[in-house]
Structure 1
């Protein structure tokens, strides 16, 4: 029998995704646990595993398709119980007895192709398959019917429907060979005025697919048929009159989510900001001493590792700020899970250090390096970036002195830290040169009052200037 393979929900918040890449083709045999596709969710690109064992009978959604709804059928799998290589009974001739079934060693074809051929009276023996190992696919049958598929056929007997306009013949190379292309590729080529004879196919058996047409650039020696001249743009068009050249690119799923969530945050969350100066020298001294002792273990602490711990401990000391707003309710957390902003190629993502208030600095450092690497590679699992009771964003490595971050709802606050810089600072009543760090907290005023936010910032300052509290 055939099973529908549906677009999975790879995270609790996922409603749609991009089918980034198929790792299997029609005719491939898969087993439970095999990786079938890569799917771009609202946070990362994740691998989709097969659940059942069988043969890929049909792929319904092409690679690169965006906004595929969760639950939509993306492919079909033939499992035990359906003869994937058996041939159907040919369409009956106008005779008293039906035609006998062909031999079991008939041409290889997908179940969908067989059903379509049977319904239209097409002899599979006359079809040239373009699938893996010459397997006949649905597109091949449609080509035989004049529907824009990729096969060649001779001697097929179509049914006798009412007269209709003659179908447009499949494109043919100058040599006389039929051009093999997917129906979608042909539609795109027709819209763009591209001669498929000039396009090199990257699909099975040299088949031209959507990506080949979209990435095609006509050469000077063999230009594509000229398109109709576009209507002149109005004089006010900035791209024509005084506008800078630009290239457009579609937003990734991650970038769309960032745009939507941060817009909602600034429009619906009443932010207020508190900034404080921290003398960083004691923390830098402790870091140097700890790194010297941890060197044999291959651990090297960063300033960010210590700031993660400081924020977590401060949240436990000031529990009024370890909260999140949920309409008519306020959630108070008994542990501090810190979301740490990481710049990935696809956009900003925030892996979470859970229980950062009780973890040792070496454990935080090791875990943060692992999560940051997975974030940049787009390999984070949902449980590694979901949740968090507060966030930390650090732009100090870029020389930024101070900035205000946008709250990540439903969290109640985010700490933004810049670079430590040499500056005059009063120490024990004397003005000395010290390494000063500017830290700014953004707070949700629906959940946290100004005085409570000020207490949290003071707790962070005390922990950084007296850092032994981070190791005990």
Structure 2
């Protein structure tokens, strides 16, 4: 049976993507591991490999197509001895409508009346197992399984490479329907009714500005994802904010001395490198704050995996520096420069910008004195860093002096970190930055 190639989920959060470019054409022979397409996600453009071998029988989604849902068939792969005539497009939601209509018009009336009912139905989308992996089944087997209420994950396939075929499902017994489903639907009804009213539609907003000149900017995948995730974060994450002023004079002097010694190695440490290290060590000093929200539980992390916001054209990335507490300042500096450069080129792999328990957003280099950052779920907190500016301060002896002061704001998820614990974490960050030599101990 021809095998459908599905739109892959290239990251755990990916729901749709753009089929940027086909690297093969119809009639090409491919093997497992061959590059066949470039897929553009909300974060990067990634190459997609074939998982089976065969001949590309039909391309169902044209390159450049946007908003292609994960698990949508994008092409059909033929095995040895199969031809394009063997392709059943009736179950493919992405099959071209025109060929389907032509086939219907050419079919004799007698043949139409004799077609089995199950063949006339569209095959359900390719199912996935509990582990998220695709379950390989023929379109006819999927249709029969859907009609009989069968769970394909519980059926062992007898076809090539374990593929589930008609014979495997024809005599299988349907499983008992779960009683929880109606209850879940009933429980969700009040929640849906209580949902806040949506804002004005795009057409309604456009009508407000009739007669005014403007440029309409189409949202790309990254902008759509940022909008959705930040809206979700502000609506569902109970933020609270803690603010401190941190004196940087000792750190700036220490940084200058270190950079002179490291100059021969071509290493130049930034203030941001010290902030990353200070946060990583603070998470180890206050381990209960090194945590993430996981829906019905809190996960306390062992290592300090710190994410750092990097602005790119059209959005931002938050690459993660894993095990930041165990790395030297020079190692953190080199890794951060590499991640930031590849983030701006959109060349980061998903595992390089996903994860972490804590984030840093530094707008000090743009002259921003202070601001409040939005938590990036499932992180427990994010530190907003402002610029270091000269300010009058009162010393311990009561004398007035001038110091370089940096204002920071810790945005905290109250489900993960309570007020006193957040204050303890922010104090540990302050102590590390005001006593930088401690970070090398």
Contact 1:341 1:391 in 2 (8 A): yes
Q: Does 1:463 align with 2:432?
A: yes
Q: Does 1:237 align with 2:207?
A: yes
Which runs of structure 2 are paired with 1:159-308 in the superposition (5 Å)? 237-241=207-211, 243-249=212-218, 251-308=219-276
TM-score by length of 2: 0.70
Could you give the per-residue CA deviations for residues 300-357 of structure 1, whole angstroms, max 9, x where no partner exists? Answer: 2211111011011111112232122334422222221101111122422211111111
How many Å separate the matches in 2 of 1:287 and 1:391?
A: 22
The residue that corresponds to 1:218 in the other structure is none
Contact 1:45 1:379 in 2 (8 A): yes
Of the three residues 353, 356, 368, the one matched with 1:385 is 353
How many Å separate the matches in 1 of 2:106 and 2:432?
A: 83
1:363 CA displacement: 1.3
How many Å separate the matches in 2 of 1:66 and 1:3?
A: 23
CA RMSD of aligned residues (A): 2.9
The residue that corresponds to 2:404 in the other structure is 435
Q: Does 1:67 align with 2:35?
A: no
1:80 CA displacement: 3.8
Query: Unaligned stretches of 5+ in structure 1?
Result: 83-110, 117-137, 148-157, 163-232
How many Å separate the matches in 2 of 1:331 and 1:414?
A: 17
Of the three residues 404, 413, 418, the one matched with 1:449 is 418
Contact 1:276 1:438 in 2 (8 A): yes
Distance 1:297 1:24, change over 3 A: farther
1:79 CA displacement: 4.2
Could you give the per-residue CA deviations for residues 411-449 of structure 1, whole angstroms, max 9, x where no partner exists? Answer: 111000011112222344332222111111001122222
How many Å separate the matches in 2 of 1:324 and 1:270?
A: 14
The residue that corresponds to 1:325 in the other structure is 293
Of the three residues 371, 389, 406, the one matched with 1:421 is 389
1:159 CA displacement: 6.9
How many Å separate the matches in 2 of 1:313 and 1:289?
A: 22
Of the three residues 290, 295, 312, the one matched with 1:344 is 312
Contact 1:340 1:391 in 2 (8 A): yes
Of the three residues 367, 372, 375, the one matched with 2:335 is 367
Distance 1:297 1:159, change over 3 A: same
1:360 CA displacement: 1.0
Distance 1:307 1:11, change over 3 A: same
Moved more, 348-357 or 6-15: 6-15
Contact 1:321 1:453 in 2 (8 A): yes
Question: Quick check: which has more Rg, 1 or 2?
Answer: 1
How many Å separate the matches in 1 of 2:107 and 2:302?
A: 75
Query: Unaligned stretches of 5+ in structure 2?
Result: 88-94, 110-202
Contact 2:2 2:86 in 1 (8 A): no
The residue that corresponds to 1:199 in the other structure is none
SS in structure 1 at match of 2:326: coil
1:264 CA displacement: 1.3
1:400 CA displacement: 0.9
Could you give the per-residue CA deviations for residues 368-426 of structure 1, whole angstroms, max 9, x where no partner exists? Answer: 11111222222211211111111100011111111000011221110000111122223
1:76 CA displacement: 2.0
1:161 CA displacement: 6.4
How many Å separate the matches in 1 of 2:433 and 2:267?
A: 21
How many Å separate the matches in 1 of 2:70 and 2:302?
A: 34
The residue that corresponds to 1:133 in the other structure is none
Contact 1:46 1:378 in 2 (8 A): no
How many Å separate the matches in 1 of 2:345 and 2:55?
A: 30
SS in structure 2 at match of 1:237: helix
Distance 1:81 1:411, change over 3 A: same
Could you give the per-residue CA deviations for residues 214-239 of structure 1, whole angstroms, max 9, x where no partner exists? Answer: xxxxxxxxxxxxxxxxxxx99x9333
1:160 CA displacement: 9.6
Which runs of structure 2 are paired with 1:17-56 in the superposition (5 Å)? 17-56=17-56
Contact 2:243 2:408 in 1 (8 A): yes
